[in-house]
Structure 1
Amino acid sequence: MKNILHLFKRDVQNVSRSVIGLVVVMGLIIVPCLYAWFNIAGSWDPYGNTGNLKIAVVNTDEGYESDLIPVEVNVGENVTATLRGNENFDWVVLNDREKAIEGVKSGAYYAAVVIPKTFSADMMTLFSTDVK
């Protein structure tokens, strides 16, 4: 341990006598700090500016009614309601699938989420042996 401390002290003394050594050491200390600072500042709040992104949502789900329990389940409506409450993006609920896709192609919407007709029925297959 004494040798390590002796070597460290000698290195510090040698670096402090040389201007070029001081510049290199300070560069090795400052550049990674700046790099980390800019990266952290750049990704600190990734959803801070996404509130203006328009995303089209089309729900074509027809729902599902079980044979055992006569209760209709519509998972597509639940998903749409949850997305409406989400303020991270500007969710635009549409009724026409083609209009949503054309809106993405034209640049009116950033993306489109299309919930298929059999979404609820497919979700209920989770409890069966033939999962879709």
Structure 2
Amino acid sequence: MIQTWLDRFDPPYSGGDRRVRVHASGGFLVVENLPLPDGYAPDYLDVLLLTEQFPDLPPIGLYMLNKGNELLTAQIARRLNVFNNKAFHEAKAIPGYTWACLIYKDNSWRYNFSKANSGDNLTKFLEVFYALLKKEVA
């Protein structure tokens, strides 16, 4: 479902594809060239979601690589709390990554095991991130 959502956006200006990769362990996934709303420069970002407790719980925030994303992280920090090499709310700190605090719908999470696209899911989690960033555009 994430890939279908990504494919709705225009390709990033940098070229390349927007894609999601799930690690074989199922413990995390990477979204390459995640689209960002107009006004962000660049308008894409690679993010990491820890999915060790999915589908029982949503990811606790998301992670952005530190190196090369400093200006973009500063833009995102205008809308979300971000922490370089740190994390809170029981999220794991990952050295070399900036954690963005994203609490999904007041900590409610209702994953529908029989029909994943009708309940809360990772695509909707990323849509919330996009929508929060869209509210404040430079």
TM-score, length-scaled by structure 2: 0.20
Q: Which has the higher contact order (CA 8 A, sep 6+)?
A: 1
Whose strand fraction is larger, Structure 1's or Structure 2's? 2
Of structures 1 and 2, the larger Rg is shown by 1
